[in-house]
Amino acid sequence: MKPVAILYDDIFLKHDLGPGHPECPARLQAITESLNDLRQDERYIWVDPPEASPDDIARVHSPQYVDWIRQNCEAGGSVYPALEGNLVPETYPAALKAAGAVIQACDKVWDGEWGGAFALVRPPGHHAVKSSAMGFCVFNNIAVAAQWLVDKKKAASVLIVDFDVHHGNGTQDAFYSDGKVAYFSTHQWPHYPGTGSKREDGEGNGIGANLNVPLRAGDGDDEILSAFNDRLKPWTEERKPEFLLISAGFDAHEDDPLSEIRVTTDGYRQMANVLKEIADDHCMGRWVITLEGGYNMKALGDSSRAFLEGIVG
């Protein structure tokens, strides 16, 4: 059996937005602790991923923005309001490695070397737009990797599923008129960042390749599973993706402080079961998960574990 890779590096703990910030290094520690016994499980391998090159980041970001982040980090860091926190010197190498992890995961899973992969990375990515950080995101890791698949592997149809409780405006933007990379999102709405209405369905070549399923405050497992089963599955039948990329934010959890959606830990396991079915039916079993949000440490650790177990099967 092909191993499932867990990609992680301590550099992700050195990126620090400032005291009391919810997007903190302890988030990743909660997940690695929760997955720690998998180090003895031969179905998994733990991988120290490489950095992405600035040119790879520039597949979806402007080179000027990439260089601006580099310069500010090398100069010792600075307050950066677009990030709702600080840049520190380690932010740039951590952000390069976060994108590099998702690229490496796509490379190895596409080639059939790994049976799937979970990139445990910080900073997260799905709010970052072409020429700016946004939310707690610096470079849009999943968008960079999806574009890399199109450019390098000649992927004709990639599906991104984003179940972070916040709409992934940056990822939607990157592929809104693209057509090769489809974007599906469940998220609380209205809520930060304000985008994600069901009327946003793509433009030009991308018409129909963007599907938002907004959830209301108070919704939980039933509503999100119905979005997966009744909206995502039939849409996927039409689109026939070759590869499944997952923006996994666990901030829709009932115990998360940043939302009013009430998904349970077991709900994440059931969502993973649906995504496994989609990957098996359409994508030759190829899936890559990257971490986005999730701000209750216990819920984050438990849900990551449940989700991974659900998709590995």
**Where does this chain touch Zn ion (CB under 5 A) — which range of 83-91, 179-187, 247-255, 267-275?**
247-255
CB of 252: closest distance to Zn ion in angstroms? 8
Q: Beginning with the edge strand found earlier in the chain, give each strand of the sheet holding 4-7 in spatial order.
A: 44-47, 4-7, 116-119, 287-291, 243-248, 158-162, 181-188, 210-215
**Where does this chain touch Zn ion (CB under 5 A) — which range of 18-26, 29-37, 83-91, 289-297?**
289-297
Question: Residue 68 in contact with residue 132, Cβ under 8 Å?
Answer: no
What are 230's strand-pairing partners?
A: none
Q: Is 241 in the site for Zn ion (CB under 5 A)?
A: no
Which position among 107, 162, 164, 178 is part of the footprint of Zn ion (CB under 5 A)?
164
CB of 193: closest distance to Zn ion in angstroms? 10
Helix, strand, or coil here: 250? coil
Helix, strand, or coil here: 305? helix
Catalytic annotation, pick one of 127, 166, 191, 253: 127
Q: Is 162 in the site for Zn ion (CB under 5 A)?
A: no
Which position among 162, 219, 251, 302 is part of the footprint of Zn ion (CB under 5 A)?
251
**Where does this chain touch Zn ion (CB under 5 A) — which range of 13-21, 99-107, 145-153, 285-293?**
285-293
Q: Is 191 in the site for Zn ion (CB under 5 A)?
A: no
CB of 127: closest distance to Zn ion in angstroms? 8
Q: Is 249 in the site for Zn ion (CB under 5 A)?
A: yes
Q: What share of the chain is helix, strand, coil (3-state, %, to 5)?
A: 40, 20, 40
What 3 state SS string does 184-243 have? Answer: EEEEECCCCCCCCCCCCCCCHHHCCCEEEEEECCCCEHHHHHHHHHHHHHHHHHHHCCCE
From residue 8, how far is each of 99, 140, 246, 282, 299 by CA, in Å? 12, 17, 17, 28, 20
Which position among 27, 59, 61, 166 is part of the footprint of Zn ion (CB under 5 A)?
166
Token pair of 4 as six digits: 């499932």
Question: Residue 292 in contact with residue 247, Cβ under 8 Å?
Answer: yes
Nearest alpha-carbon partner for 263 in 273, 276, 250 = 250
Tell me whether residue 80 or residue 250 sits nearer to Zn ion (CB atom): 250
Query: Catalytic site residue 187?
Result: no
**Where does this chain touch Zn ion (CB under 5 A) — which range of 46-54, 104-112, 204-212, 290-298?**
290-298
User: What is the C-alpha to C-alpha distance for residues 306 and 311, in angstroms, rounded to an integer?
Assistant: 9
Kindly identify the residues of this chain, within the stretch 197-226, that bind Zn ion according to CB under 5 A.
Answer: none
Tell me whether residue 165 or residue 182 sits nearer to Zn ion (CB atom): 165
CB of 128: closest distance to Zn ion in angstroms? 13
Tell me whether residue 107 or residue 251 sits nearer to Zn ion (CB atom): 251
- Which residues are catalytic, by number? 127
Contact residues toward Zn ion (CB under 5 A) are 164, 166, 249, 251, 293
